[in-house]
A and B are shown apart, each in its own frame.
Chain A
Amino acid sequence: MDSVSLIGMASILAAGLTMGIGAIGPALGEGRAVAQGLSAIAQQPDETNNITRTLFVGLAMIESTAIYCFVISMILIFANPFWDHVIQAGG
């Protein structure tokens, strides 16, 4: 197998795995955070504003790990540096 198809195969497989595995952790974390936030709002409706704001900021922090995975998989598919290098070297 020549290196162009090898790199293509490896980067597509790695992009899929990155997204698939990388989405599990943040999904579990966000689910827990939202569940806890909702029960906190149910117990203390007066503090809804405060809880919602903290919840959103926390969700964004949790979500950023999934966003890193997404950025990496986008780079692997659309802007792969090894891909360009091999094509240039191969002519």
Chain B
Amino acid sequence: MDLMSLKDISPDQVIFWQWGWASINATILFTWVIMILMTVGSWLVTRRLSSGPEVPRWQNLLEVVVSGMRRQIEEISQEESGTYLYFVGTLFLLIFVSNILTLVPGYVAPTASLSTTAALAICVFAAVPVYGILTRGLGGYLKQYVRPTPFMLPFNIIGELSRTLAMAVRLFGNIMSGMKIAAILLAITPFIFPVVLHAFGLLTGTIQAYIFAVLAMVYIASATRAQKGKETEENSEKPEKGEKQ
């Protein structure tokens, strides 16, 4: 909290090191800190894996995390988690760790910067057609844009763009508002109230990480599933006709 004054609304404005056009600001620094922390942490844990009756406690933690994410993905998408886990799970873990680490003094969450959240939202924006085309083919994917009628084409495209913007601004606004309110209360009523709001900020951060991942999964599932939904409808209609005959 000391790193950013009350007037800065983005950690992009805190610059540690600058050389010509290249600069290292708080967003880049703390994103790399999180990436190193998570990579080295998982490497240390997975170095000695065991499948015996006695499982090391950190391996147990990672197993719970991965299997929990896999179960959630299967519940939402109603199909095998497969390759979704790598993308959606990475998004969730990155946002979750970056929000939870606000407990550490002197740390500024990189998700409180619009550039980070916009980058994550653009990743989702790009992943939706990739997954859609991989499962349904180019024609099948493009056909969903003219789904009810061709008149809906511009609205479908606008919807695609606006939900990307909404994802970026939602995460940024939630995390930034938590930081700002804690900083403002620290100036007005120190000691008790900032602690309560900080705890509330941790809850908000966890929920926002979950929601970002769920929304990414829902968007990807809606691009891949429409075809299958049609097939199951046809399948379920056939026995009914058979019964009538």
Residues of chain A touching chain B, judged by Cβ–Cβ distance below 8 Å, are 50, 53, 56-57, 60, 63-64, 67-68, 70-71, 74-75, 78-79
Cβ contact within 8 Å between B214 and A78: no
Q: Tell me the bound Cα distance from A50 to B210 in angstroms.
A: 14
Residues from chain B with a CB closer than 8 A to the CB of A56 are 207, 210-211
The main secondary structure of chain A at its interface with chain B is helix
Cβ contact within 8 Å between A74 and B169: no
CB of B198 within 8 A of chain A?
no
Cβ contact within 8 Å between B208 and A60: yes
CB of B173 within 8 A of chain A?
yes
Q: Tell me the bound Cα distance from A67 to B171 in angstroms.
A: 9
CB of B9 within 8 A of chain A?
yes
Q: Tell me the bound Cα distance from A56 to B176 in angstroms.
A: 20
Q: B167 — nearest CB in chain A belongs to which residue?
A: A64
- How distant is B140 from chain A, measured CB to nearest CB, in Å? 27
Given A60-B170, A78-B7, A78-B9, A70–B211 Cβ distance below 8 Å?
no
Q: Tell me the bound Cα distance from A74 to B9 in angstroms.
A: 8
CB of B227 within 8 A of chain A?
no
Q: Tell me the bound Cα distance from A34 to B75 in angstroms.
A: 22
Cβ contact within 8 Å between A70 and B214: no
Q: Tell me the bound Cα distance from A75 to B172 in angstroms.
A: 13
Q: B210 — nearest CB in chain A belongs to which residue?
A: A56
Q: Which of A50, A57, A60, A75 has the most chain B CB atoms inside 10 A of its CB?
A: A60
Residues from chain B with a CB closer than 8 A to the CB of A64 are 166, 169-170, 173
Residues from chain B with a CB closer than 8 A to the CB of A71 are 169, 172-173, 176
From A50, A68, A79, contact of B169 by CB (8 A):
A68
Cβ contact within 8 Å between B173 and A68: yes
